[in-house]
Structure 1
Amino acid sequence: MRSIRWIIFAMLVARVSISAAMPPSTLKRAYLDRLRRVHVIDASNRASLIDGFPAINLVMAPDRHSVAWSVGYKDKEGEALSDEVRIYRQGRVHRLPCGPASSDFAFRDGGRRLVLRCAGLHFAGLQELYDTDTLQVVASFQEAEILLEQRPDWNIDAD
């Protein structure tokens, strides 16, 4: 009985080690259906619905390992507003909250980084640079404190 437990334990450890060492999966395509839900098609042509909330903006990373989109609502005038950005990577959807009313994002460094701008509708905001593997903030700045010409090269206005 004891040896069976050790075998099961060893199999679980091996599975975790293998999955941690696997490279991110490559995506062929990402699209929105008529209800604006997010779907992806992976390298093996398997289609998956990954988010049932209406998306506003859908972008695939240049390295084809990640897909990001805004989730939000429409105001009284019908303008699309977003208070959250979601990123799909390695089979999981991650949420990056952004308030109060507007968010903008772009991939940088071939898809290894995601820059996220959170701001009010008519005000300067905060820009944060995320590592897409860890989803940790690696740099940030307040737009009101830095002139456009002095902002880092990863800022969202660099395009």
Structure 2
Amino acid sequence: MDAGLEQWTDFNVAMLGATAALAGLVIVAASVNIREIITSGTLTPRLAAGISALVLALIVSGMALVPEIDPVWFGGLIIFATAVAGAFQLNATRVIARDPATEDRARVAKSVAGFLPIAAYLAAGVLLVAGQPGGLIMAAAGALLAIVSAILISWIVLVEVLR
């Protein structure tokens, strides 16, 4: 499977650059309205969850580039990093669930997008620990979902702060 991971080098290099750039842009964009974001009850945890998904993609893509990394260790590290990012998403979901201004229907929608990359990365880690090369495909899906999710969450936060 080590040869399989080497075949993903170009993808991981691209994801590493894309997620690092996007994380930086999200942080800069948020800093323009940081006072309003911080005073909001739900925006700060949601933005933190979006950024943590990008950091998760950055970490996994970076770890995949470590020469001769053992796939089982790689899978275990993905599971650990996913648990940390998942804690941010769980916190955001908890805050959204307690927000009286959020409609019941909107609560689910505001939370689901953040869990998609978490679920993909968790599946990737479990598959890699189990010795299944399909974990690499799930990790790729996690990276792409992290980008889409973070863009969506960041856009919603930046629009909501101006309402």
Report if TM-score (shorter chain) is over 0.5. Answer: no
The structure with more helix, counted as a fraction of residues: 2
Q: TM-score, normalized by length of structure 2? A: 0.22
The structure with more strand, counted as a fraction of residues: 1
Asked which structure has the greater RCO (Cα within 8 Å, sep 6+), the reply is 2
Q: TM-score, normalized by length of structure 1? A: 0.23
Q: Which structure has the greater CA radius of gyration?
A: 1
